[in-house]
Amino acid sequence: MDYREAVQWIHSRETFGIKPGLKRMEWLMEKLNHPQKKIKAIHIAGTNGKGSTLSFLRHIMQSHGYSVGTFTSPYIVKFNERISVDGQPIPDDEMTSFVEKIKPLCLELEKTELGPPTEFEVITAIAFDYFSQQDLDYVLFETGLGGRLDSTNVVQPILTIITNVGLDHTAILGNTYEQIAYEKAGIMKEQIPLVTAVTEQQSLHLIKRKASELSVPLDHFSSDFRAKQLGVHDGLETFSFFSKLGDYSELAIQMRGFHQVVNASTALQAFLRLSKMVNLQVDTTKVKEGLFGTTWPGRFETVHHHPLVIIDGAHNKEGIETLIQTVERFYPEKRKHLLFSAMKDKALSDMINLFNQAFTTVTFTTFEFERAAKAENLFELSDHPNKHLKSNWEASIKELIQSIDPMNEVIIISGSLYFISVIRQYFEIN
């Protein structure tokens, strides 16, 4: 088996769909000699901001000299980046050998009453196995979907984070904030500290109640730690951070928007909480270096300068609302053109209804991906006065770039992290 065949085999598991539950993962972990018990893990759930928060935390940890594994999804550039050590994806040859190791176990599992493991279960199991064999201080695990029944939830974390709760994946997680919060709160473990930036009141009430039941020390954004935005200086978000565990003034991050200030603050609070647990001396200079050095592809990322083209992985109502606020804050005077594609299983109307006041024009498109919505369906959901239908996204980009005024107009491309991955690769090549 070569690398290409290994990744193809993992992707072939996609036909088994999404099957919430931990039984298959527990079976695989036992066969692999429980790698999940050999790492110090921090488990991160949330509707939005998981990846950015994870990245801020990894950079703060690395600036303090720690070696950090990360498990994220989906990938933006290459599949391997989902399993990384200190920002370096698992090498192709190692990915291949770990697939060769797990494939016969998966075939064995298929013959049991538990049935075949899914694509996400396979890649999660590989991640646990790989990280357990590296010399790592910590591993940061991002949930794939929800938390309680997510395949990452076989881990026994030393700290948990819930970034926020929004209405996404409602067909699986439930269609109320409380139902979704219940699933996310499923990563909480007895007496293991939780850091959260959840603001939605029903969700927060449920999380606080569960924290009390499990004797979980809870750090909540706005109650136990907070941030004061200082404005934009030289294209950087600047803010001060206040916490019962320490205050930090004049912090600067490259990632833009108040939501990123919240993500950075959540990561910093998690690091401060961890430092109290392990008696670590926190270095202010290294905190600032870590935060400043953090980037995360596809999050309000500039991929073209003249005219300005920004890509953002917003893929639900809350994400689009945040994107619109950030665009308005940074480019209040510019005319804004949106190129949009999304997954057909999302709450599409909830996102599309937000476009009318925010964007001068909206172009609906699609891309080659099984779950991608048809451009025609997106177009029909919109009553934007200046909407366009273009099935060829590449032609749409070229047309927009050639037709707009670079001084007074900006192009935003959004709707799906999978779409953004394709767009980002296009701009790297061109």
CATH number for 340: 3.90.190.20
Q: Of 265, 292, 319, at which residue does a domain stop?
A: 292
Q: Are residues 285 and 323 in the same domain?
A: no
- Cβ-Cβ contacts under 8 Å for 124 (sequence gap 6 or more): 25, 71, 144, 151, 152
Q: Are residues 278 and 335 in the same domain?
A: no
Q: How far is Cα 166 from Cα 319, in angstroms, rounded to an integer?
A: 9
pLDDT computed for residue 407 by the predictor: 96
Contact 140, 54 (CB under 8 A): yes
The pair of three-digit structure tokens given for residue 217, joined into one six-digit string: 């020390």
Q: Are residues 276 and 368 in the same domain?
A: no
pLDDT computed for residue 314 by the predictor: 94
Q: Are residues 242 and 274 in the same domain?
A: yes
How many whole angstroms from its chain centre is CA 423? 18
Q: Are residues 281 and 353 in the same domain?
A: no
- Per-residue pLDDT in tens (0 to 9) along the chain, 430 residues: 999 999 999 999 988 878 889 999 999 999 999 999 999 999 999 999 999 999 999 999 999 999 999 999 989 889 999 999 999 999 999 999 999 999 999 999 999 999 999 999 999 999 999 999 999 999 999 999 889 999 999 999 999 999 999 876 666 677 788 999 999 999 999 999 999 999 999 999 999 999 999 999 999 999 999 999 998 888 899 999 999 999 999 999 999 999 999 999 999 999 999 999 998 889 999 999 999 999 988 999 999 999 999 999 999 999 999 999 999 999 999 999 999 999 999 999 999 999 999 999 999 999 999 899 999 999 999 999 999 999 999 999 999 999 999 999 999 999 999 999 999 999 999 8
Write out the residue range of the structural domain in which residue 385 sits: 301-429
Torsion of the alpha carbons at 86, 87, 88 and 90, rounded to the nearest 10: 90
Contact 268, 287 (CB under 8 A): yes
Q: How far is Cα 148 from Cα 20, in angstroms, rounded to an integer?
A: 9
Q: Are residues 133 and 85 in the same domain?
A: yes
End-to-end CA distance of the chain: 33
User: Tokens 């990632």 map to which residue?
Assistant: 255
Please write down the long-range contacts of 207-214, taking CB distance under 8 Å and 24 or more positions apart. 207/162, 207/181, 210/185, 214/188, 214/189, 214/190
User: Residue 190: which CATH number?
Assistant: 3.40.1190.10
Torsion of the alpha carbons at 223, 224, 229 and 230, rounded to the nearest 10: 130
Phi, psi (5° rounding) for residue 64? -90, 5
Residue 16 CA: distances (Å) to CA of 12, 19, 145, 183: 9, 8, 16, 22
pLDDT computed for residue 249 by the predictor: 96
Q: Of 248, 268, 292, at which residue does a domain stop?
A: 292
pLDDT computed for residue 77 by the predictor: 87
Q: Are residues 87 and 163 in the same domain?
A: yes
The pair of three-digit structure tokens given for residue 124, joined into one six-digit string: 């999660």
Sign of CA dihedral 256, 326, 427, 51: positive
Contact 156, 37 (CB under 8 A): yes
pLDDT computed for residue 156 by the predictor: 97
Number of domains in the chain: 2
Q: Of 269, 292, 315, at which residue does a domain stop?
A: 292
pLDDT computed for residue 145 by the predictor: 85
Q: Are residues 81 and 120 in the same domain?
A: yes
- Cβ-Cβ contacts under 8 Å for 274 (sequence gap 6 or more): 42, 158, 159, 280
DSSP assignment string, 172-186 = HH-SSHHHHHHHHGG
Phi, psi (5° rounding) for residue 76? -105, -40
Q: How far is Cα 419 from Cα 378, in angstroms, rounded to an integer?
A: 14
Q: Are residues 323 and 285 in the same domain?
A: no
Strand extents, DSSP E, 199-235: 218-220, 225-233
- Cβ-Cβ contacts under 8 Å for 100 (sequence gap 6 or more): 1, 6
Q: Are residues 338 and 251 in the same domain?
A: no
pLDDT computed for residue 172 by the predictor: 67
Determine how β-strand 138-142 pairs with β-strand 68-71.
parallel
pLDDT computed for residue 170 by the predictor: 63
Q: Are residues 124 and 195 in the same domain?
A: yes
Q: Are residues 321 and 345 in the same domain?
A: yes
